[in-house]
Structure 1
Amino acid sequence: MPDSAALPATATPITLVSALEERAFNAWPAHQTVFHQGWVFRLAGGYTKRANSVNALVPGAPFDGVREAAAALYARHGLPAVFRISPLAPAAADQALADAGYQHFDPSLVLHRALTPGVSAKPDGRNVVRTSPSPAWLEGFAAANGVAPHHRNLHRSILDAIAHPTGYALQNDARGHAVGFGLAVLERGAVGLYDLAVAPEHRRSGRGRALVQALLDWAVQAGATSAYLQVRAQNLPALRLYESMGFRAAYGYHYRVPG
């Protein structure tokens, strides 16, 4: 698998898609994975669509029988069969799901940028990056991102299962209260940014930019040469922020959910 850092951030070759998809699966691990004819069925108790969806692993993998197998497996676990359609999935799969009544949902973009080794911003004392989540990080993120109480243990279990190096950014306000949160996962030169959240009353004040920059600085110091993240296509403020920080769209994906 080519390292995504060696590929141009402005291009969208299938090798870049495969490299970023593979890293993202590792960065946000499911509790259980089932491999099926070039597809992977991921299950994590229903917390987040990424960890509880069917994804293509092999470009153009055949779709014959996949929908039926996924529906049976997810039903066994009390979950809907949600499909995440990336450029690795054949067009026929998306059409077959549409024909079966699966609804198009949550179109998103994967953004990507290069990082310059040794170049980082001046440290910002408001942001602290640690290699494990503190109680303040866990509790504050759950509150800021609206994680339901019954999903908080599932969220923690996913974090605990991440095998690669992690950086947890915690941002405090002037009174020392935790108000900003972010997670970076580093694998083979590429850092993925996840769980970016700012408490509602502190949004649109530059805190999001500072969080992202703190995580990128941590990643550069750890040897990263590229970065990626996912964002909902309709989240225009976030898109503008990330683009202003050098991120560019690598590819898009969407979900198909049972009607």
Structure 2
Amino acid sequence: MISPEKQLYIRNMESRTMGAWPSFQTIIDDGWVLRFAKGYTKRANSVNPIFPSTDNISEKIFRCETQYSQLGLPCVFKLTKIASPFNLEEFLDKRGYSKIDETSVQEVSLLNDFNSKSRLKMDYFTAVNETWLKHYCHMNRVSEQNQLNLKGILTNIVTPAFYVLLYNKNECVACGLGVQDGIFIGLFDIVVAKNHRNQGIGTQLIQYLLELGKNNGAQKAYLQVMLNNPAALHLYEKLGFQEQYRYWYRKK
């Protein structure tokens, strides 16, 4: 049984992450938040049942499937333990939705000092630009079509953001994004160039992002990491991040 305090925390965090990673269009259907961003990332193209709902579940699922189908998108549900109604997954099971991509939502206090002894050169921007976008898309192999969609999502961020690049001499070796919302800063799009991994560069990148957030008034940082990524899980554990809850997707 999840306490009311934990339910509120999860609901607030899920709302916060939707603001940090905005979609292009949003529909609210009886407590369910339907997000659409031309198919780029499941986070921005999924049903988020985080608020209480009362309508017939089967009818609501059908409405969601129709909405996404009309846009040529699969209907995907992003679920947590507070998904409403409580028996939603039973209905999704019966309709052929499989559980995929379980993810850990983690948090760390920024009261600690995150300075690194060995530092690479850092550059950052407070709005998305072609330099950051070029390096990120190259390292993460983002297709040309999805580059436009990614830029659209990033352009829609309205809270303070930090687009960080790390350089080894003149070569860009890592990219990351921090999106701040009050006392929270969320970390997104963390990537290190393939031939520079396992050298502590990811640690330095995250330390820079945490410092930028702390200097801008953030007191806590959060991130989302898939459970099938042991290297990232180990890195975040070393930096003091602790799991707060999990989410997963249901997709036909």
TM-score if structure 2 supplies the norm length? Answer: 0.92
Match of 2:92 among 93, 97, 107: 97
2:38 aligned with 1:52: no
Match of 2:227 among 183, 208, 233: 233
Q: Secondary structure of 1:50's match?
A: coil
Query: Please, what is the CA RMSD of the aligned residues?
Result: 1.9
Alpha-carbon displacement from aligned partner over 1:27-57 (angstroms, at most 9, x marks no partner)? 0000000000111000000000000000023
Task: Describe the shift of the 1:28–1:189 C-alpha distance in structure 2 as closer, same or farther (beyond 3 A).
Answer: same
Query: 1:120, CA displacement in angstroms?
Result: 4.7
Instruction: Give, in whole Å, the separation in 2 of the partners of 1:253 and 1:237.
Output: 19
Query: 1:98, CA displacement in angstroms?
Result: 1.1
Alpha-carbon displacement from aligned partner over 1:143-163 (angstroms, at most 9, x marks no partner)? 111211111010001000000
Match of 1:209 among 161, 180, 203: 203
Q: How does 1:176-195 map to 2 (within 5 A)?
A: 176-195=170-189
Provide the aligned length of Structure 1 versus Structure 2: 246
Match of 1:37?
30
Task: Describe the shift of the 1:62–1:20 C-alpha distance in structure 2 as closer, same or farther (beyond 3 A).
Answer: farther
Query: 1:133, CA displacement in angstroms?
Result: 3.1
Q: Secondary structure of 1:254's match?
A: strand
**Is the 2:128–2:151 Cα contact (8 Å) retained in structure 1?**
no
Instruction: Give, in whole Å, the separation in 2 of the partners of 1:59 and 1:198.
Output: 40
Letter in 2 for 1:216: L
Instruction: Give, in whole Å, the separation in 1 of the partners of 2:22 and 2:128.
Output: 16
Task: Describe the shift of the 1:55–1:33 C-alpha distance in structure 2 as closer, same or farther (beyond 3 A).
Answer: same
Query: What are structure 1's unaligned runs of at least 5 residues?
Result: 1-11
Match of 2:124?
129
Query: 1:125, CA displacement in angstroms?
Result: 4.4
Q: Secondary structure of 1:57's match?
A: coil
Match of 1:5?
none
Alpha-carbon displacement from aligned partner over 1:65-123 (angstroms, at most 9, x marks no partner)? 22111000001111010111112204411121111101111111101111118x45258
Match of 2:62 among 58, 63, 68: 68
Structure 1 stretch displaced more, 42-51 or 12-21: 12-21
Match of 1:219 among 213, 221, 230: 213
Task: Describe the shift of the 1:221–1:234 C-alpha distance in structure 2 as closer, same or farther (beyond 3 A).
Answer: same
Match of 2:136?
141
Instruction: Give, in whole Å, the separation in 1 of the partners of 2:161 and 2:35.
Output: 21
Instruction: Give, in whole Å, the separation in 2 of the partners of 1:136 and 1:154.
Output: 16
